[in-house]
């Protein structure tokens, strides 16, 4: 039984993905996600009873290093690509004041 994706499902996905689609993108993507899921659901044919999951292929576990202080970005380097900055901070549009006003 295939999964049918609705526009409401897509709106929920936009929320959890923090991605906004245009109406046109939403109309295109809704049937496409249905067909993508239809394709991947063929894995249901494969018997995986008692098969362990593979999450990585190298077999490497617990890669650790000494907790040493090493040179890292200066404040200037860290801010070099910031769209906006002020007094050494990343700057974004204020939002907390609106919440305070609602409270």
Residues at the interface with other proteins (CB under 8 A): 9-10, 13-14, 16-21, 25, 28-29, 32-33, 35-37, 39-40, 42-44, 46, 48, 51-58, 60, 63, 65, 73, 77-78, 80-84, 90, 92-93, 95-96, 98-99
For the CB of residue 7, give the shortest distance to other proteins in the complex, in Å. 13
Nearest to 94 by CA among 79, 103, 84: 84
Instruction: Quote the CA–CA distance of 30 and 9 in Å, as a whole number.
Output: 8
Pick the closer one to other proteins by CB: 8 or 54.
54
For the CB of residue 57, give the shortest distance to other proteins in the complex, in Å. 3
Retrieve residue 84's tokens.
Answer: 């906006």
Instruction: Quote the CA–CA distance of 56 and 6 in Å, as a whole number.
Output: 33
Nearest to 10 by CA among 27, 35, 2: 27
For the CB of residue 2, give the shortest distance to other proteins in the complex, in Å. 12
For the CB of residue 89, give the shortest distance to other proteins in the complex, in Å. 11
Instruction: Quote the CA–CA distance of 13 and 6 in Å, as a whole number.
Output: 11
């Amino acid at each position: 039984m295939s999964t049918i994706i609705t526009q409401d499902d897509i709106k929920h996905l936009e929320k959890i993905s923090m991605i906004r689609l245009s109406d046109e993108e939403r109309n295109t993507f809704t049937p496409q996600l249905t067909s993508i899921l239809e394709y991947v659901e063929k894995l249901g044919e494969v018997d995986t009873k008692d098969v362990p999951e593979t999450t990585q292929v190298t077999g490497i576990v617990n890669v650790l290093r000494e907790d040493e202080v090493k040179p890292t970005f200066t404040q200037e380097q860290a801010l070099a690509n910031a769209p906006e900055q002020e007094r050494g901070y990343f700057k974004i549009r204020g939002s907390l004041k609106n919440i305070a006003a609602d409270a």
